[in-house]
Copies of this chain bind each other. A is one copy, B any other.
Amino acid sequence: MTPPDPGKDPMPPTPGPFTGRTIAGLAADLRERRATSAELAERALDAIAALDPVLNAFVTVDAVGALAAARRADEELAGGTDRGPLHGVPVAVKDLIMVAGLPVTMGSRHFAGHVPDADAECVARLRRAGAVIVGTTTTHEFAYGPTGDRSAAGPARNPWDPARMTGGSSAGSAAAVAAGLVPLALGTDTGGSVRIPAALCGVAGFKPAYGAIPADGVFPLSRTFDHVGVLAGDAHDCLLAYRCLAGPNGQKEIGPAHPARLGSPADLARPAGPEGTGPVRVAWLDPAGLFAGDPRVVEAVRAASGALEEVRLPEDVGAALRETYTAVQRCEAAAVHADRLAEAPELFDPEVLERLRAAAEVPGWRYVRAMDARAGLAEAVGALFGDHDVLALPTVPITAQPLGRRETEIDGAPVAVLAALLALTSPWNVLGLPALTVPAGTVNGLPVGLQLVCRPGRELLLFEAESCGPRSG
């Protein structure tokens, strides 16, 4: 994707200091002395002070720490130590990923005032790459919701319309990037929690293959499906951040039975085309096999995809992916929270509490069957990649809904908002497949996202596919 052109691409009404800026551009500014890291941090902090009272993207802003880190980054660069493209760049971290010395609350009163001793591994890697952490961003409580509007810190608000939800659970990360407050943010994605808010807020979001970015030090939701991901203004910045965060250690968590193993080991070598030379083969995956979405959204995204061929998921595979996702995620989430549910249920947000209580009722035999089903589902979905490298589909089949809304309409028929938000993203968590969302225009003035999915080890193809569609033509 090319940087947004205000005359052509839709943009949120209030641009921030990093709107339209790429990390490569910022890196060039820093190295060519057009800016210092301290200046970038100040711009971020000033913009947060000005805009965040409306957006509520941030839970904690660490002005002192950010400026100190930025000055160190400047000194290192001046002294000839260059940590790479993130060196000196302001970033935000979801309030569910441990940052040593900052309050990290999981968006929950259960963790009010909780200050971790140690960084999550992904945060440690950010720091080693020279990034400047400016603060933590609003998460749906315990990441247990795709709307982003239920948090002890209050709802995050969509920069395109602050009366609307950002989507979640990485709600503040998406809002912060969409509003141009930071050029990059970390999120987590168990069923779509990076991609859903990225799509609804009009930014790029990348959920790599399962385990590619280590989840150590990230508060768990559903360990079989939990992924760490990145949000940025464009896809290339996601790739750049991914390269800094992933690596050999990132693969250590993938057990031999995880479906992500069914792909080749993740590497970033260019493997395009059947003979390794042709163009990326993109197929449109008809989303109707997963969810009957808003036709305007589906059409806009399909046009943006530029895909000529089409594949369909057999209907029973779609249903099985949904059942597998639901059973595993609920049982694992309830296992994480069983003690809190028993001892202090009143501290949960009421909707989160209700959902966790329902999760705690799912019988174990459904979990056992769901875990078993994954290998067959990986095979069924793998067959779609026989003649194609990348599947294209909408990220979310509806646009951002008003805060708190739980039922909407498509063609006059009622639709559950939570189910709609998760419908097109969660299948790829079941299989641990890399998935990228990129902005694909607007419908009624609200952003929609194009989702691109590939097999592990073929991540580069997502970014190639993204750059050759009609959107940037």
Contact = CB atoms under 8 A, between A and B. Distances in A.
Interface string A334-357: 110010000000000000000000
Interface in A227-270: 255-257
B332 A368 contact: yes
A372 B361 CA distance: 19
Contacts of A322: none
A165 B334 CA distance: 41
A331 B364 contact: yes
B359 A334 contact: no
A331 B256 contact: no
A312 interface: no
Contacts of A334: 363-365, 368
Chain A, interface SS category: helix
Nearest to A223: B368
A366 to B, nearest CB: 6
A272 interface: no
* Interface range for A: 20 to 34
A320 interface: no
A360 interface: yes
Contact of A365 (B338, B368, B369, B372): B338
Nearest to A359: B365
A323 to B, nearest CB: 13
Interface string A101-130: 000000000000000000000000000000
Contacts of A360: 363, 365
A330 interface: yes
A335 to B, nearest CB: 4
A343 to B, nearest CB: 15
Contacts of A361: 363
A237 B363 CA distance: 42
A321 to B, nearest CB: 18
Contacts of A335: 364-366, 368-369, 372
A363 B365 contact: no
Given A332-B365, A334-B363, A334-B364, 18 more contacts: A255-B257, A330-B364, A331-B367, A331-B368, A332-B368, A334-B365, A334-B368, A335-B364, A335-B365, A335-B366, A335-B368, A335-B369, A335-B372, A338-B365, A359-B365, A361-B363, A362-B363, A367-B367
